Structure 1
Amino acid sequence: MNWSIALAALWGLAANVLAMIPSKDNHWTRAYILIAVGIPILGYVTLQNGPWIGLMVMAAGMSVLRWPVIYLGRWVRRMVGE
């Protein structure tokens, strides 16, 4: 296992631990931090392992952070509809 996959696994573990801790803002602050940290890790994974593994890691990250993705999809649909 190379470092990029290990970092992605550590990110996933941290995301799950952070999701278990109670939050007053419905975890949005933690989601923003996870997104900011996860994007460079995703780029590193894609650089070292290729686009297919990068897409799998991106799908795993999107399954963890599904609400920001849902809200982004709604926002894009609103922008296209106007």
Structure 2
Amino acid sequence: MTHALLAACLWALIATVIALGPRRFHWPAAWALIATGVPIVGWVTWQHGAVLGFLVLAGGMSVLRWPLRYMLRALRNPGQGD
């Protein structure tokens, strides 16, 4: 297993542990997971190609589905505050 895939697996494990924690840590942790997950997806894509990179991206999107929904809602309705 390459270092890129090991980092992706470690990211998923950390995300799972965070999801089991108290709700007050979810949003700050989501920002940290996004900030670390984007370079990991790029690294996996660079080393293993687009198919495996897309699978890692899809896994990350399934973990971070609520921030993704809020982002899509904000893009669909610009100027609308929450």
Does TM-score exceed 0.5, indicating one fold?
A: yes
Q: CA deviation at 1:21?
A: 1.1
Q: Which structure 2 residue ranges, 5 or more long, are not aligned?
A: none
User: Which deviations, in whole Å up to 9, do the C-alpha atoms of 1:21-69 show, x marking residues without a partner?
Assistant: 11325x1000000000111111100000011111110000000000011
Corresponding residue of 1:60:
59
Could you tell me the TM-score, scaled by structure 1's length? 0.89
Q: Which structure 1 residue ranges, 5 or more long, are not aligned?
A: none
Within a 5 Å distance, the mapping from 1:1-82 to structure 2 comes to 1-24=1-24, 27-79=26-78
| Runs of at least 4 residues off by over 6 Å | none
Could you tell me the TM-score, scaled by structure 2's length? 0.89
Percent identity of equivalent pairs: 47
Q: Which has the higher contact order (CA 8 A, sep 6+)?
A: 1
Coordinate RMSD, CA, aligned:
1.0
